[in-house]
Amino acid sequence: MGEPINIFDIKDSGVAYSICTFVTRFRQYKELVNSFVDHGFSYNDCEYIYIDNSEKNQYDAYRGINKFLTTANGRYIVICHQDVLLIDDGRQKLDAVLRELDRIDPSWGVCGNGGGVYPGRLALRLTDPHGDNQFTEPLPRRVSGLDENFLVVRRDANLAVSADLKGFHLYGTDICIVARLLGYTAYVVDFHLRHLSSGASKYEPGFAELRSALIAKYRRVMRPRTATTTTTAVYLGGSTALSPVLNAVLATSIPKRFARLPKMLGLRRE
């Protein structure tokens, strides 16, 4: 196996972008690859990785994206639909956009070309069947969820999507929530491309079910609870007025009389 390696001696892979795509129609995928190569994303320092779902869905989006994120070598991992094409913006523009994002917010973890600022207000920068050259907000704009047609993930942010969700919808929302929990932010940026389809509809099969599953998952994750280690315990109770008091109690060595406190408060053990 060789000698131990000092982590600072490990060299960068040299891959700038990993362009990752689920493929159901290879003719369309070839057009995507040609479009990116023609706009500067050459094989010299970019890699193109796909999951073949042309015969059957070998991977759903959540499982497949986690596979992409753990396999890709690029400093930036682009997860995009097979039906996107570059127009004018290319490699130089995306390089510049990401440098600007590094400058204004070094804690960014994921960005894209469409997302929600808050209910009723969208940030968009794309051409699709809904309209040409859509540009609805000054960019970059911080958002709480991203459209899935085009996502750029920083590999060093070590992001993932939920292992307990399945399907092909709302993973752009999920990865933004995960990013926020890990201390990263999400943005819509000024990188214009063409998306040939109009995007997911809430009436599509599986959309409502997955939306409900996502809500239920984060209701469980964000419920009040205690987390206990070998050295201390903490109460994670959101904005409840009891939180400072309980954490002051839990910061001490916990006597036996407090052992039943979580049960008394109706909290589940982790």
User: Which residues, in sequence order, are CB contacts of 114 under 8 Å at separation 6+?
Assistant: 122, 123, 124, 125, 126, 146, 147, 149, 150, 188
* Final residue of a structural domain among 202, 219, 236: 219
Residue 215 lies in a domain: yes
- Output the pLDDT for position 238: 64
Residues 232 and 161 in one domain: no
**Are 117 and 141 within 8 A, CB to CB?**
yes
Assess contact for 172 and 122: CB atoms under 8 A: no
Question: Between β-strands 114-118 and 225-228, what pairing exists: parallel, antiparallel or unpaired?
Answer: unpaired
Q: What is the dihedral of CA 123, 129, 133, 137, to 10 degrees?
A: -10
Cα dihedral sign, 28-32-35-38? negative
**CB-CB contact of 139 with 131 (8 Å):** no
Q: Is residue 175 part of a domain?
A: yes
Whether 122 and 239 map to the same domain: the answer is no
The verdict on 199 and 238 lying in the same domain is: no
Q: Are residues 178 and 233 in the same domain?
A: no
**Is 199 found in the same domain as 251?**
no
Q: What is the pLDDT along the chain (270 residues), one digit of tens a residue?
A: 688 999 888 888 999 999 999 999 999 999 999 999 999 999 999 999 999 999 999 999 999 999 999 999 999 999 999 999 999 999 999 999 999 999 999 999 999 999 999 999 999 999 999 999 999 999 999 999 999 999 999 999 999 999 999 999 999 999 999 999 999 999 999 999 999 998 766 667 789 999 999 999 999 988 888 888 878 888 787 666 666 666 666 666 554 445 555 555 565 555
The DSSP string of 108-125 is EEEEESEEEEETTEEEEE
Is residue 5 assigned to a domain?
no
- 155 and 229: one domain? no
Element (H, E) at 132: strand 131-135
Asked if 124 and 180 sit in the same domain, the reply is yes
Number of domains comprising the chain? 2
3 found inside a domain: no
Pair (66, 98) in one structural domain? yes
Domain assignment of residue 69, yes or no: yes
- Asked whether residue 2 is assigned to any structural domain, the reply reads no
Are residue 89 and residue 176 in the same domain, yes or no? yes
Does residue 119 have a cis peptide bond before it, meaning omega lies within 30 degrees of 0?
no
Confirm whether 146 is domain-assigned.
Answer: yes
pLDDT tens sequence across 187-210: 999 999 999 998 766 667 789 999
The answer to whether 144 and 109 have CB atoms below 8 angstroms apart is no
**Co-location of 95 and 187 in the same domain:** yes
Cα 113 from Cα 111, distance rounded (Å): 7
Query: What CATH number corresponds to the domain at position 35?
Result: 3.90.550.10
Looking at the domain assignment, is residue 102 inside a domain?
yes
Which domain, by its residues, includes 211? 10-219
Do residue 130 and residue 254 come from a single domain? Answer: no
**pLDDT tens digit sequence for 255-265:** 444 555 555 55
pTM of the model: 0.88
Residues 6+ apart with CB under 8 A from 264: none
Sheet holding 141-142, edge to edge: 46-52, 17-23, 76-80, 150-154, 108-112, 185-188, 141-142
In this structure, the answer to whether residues 232 and 207 fall within a common structural domain is no
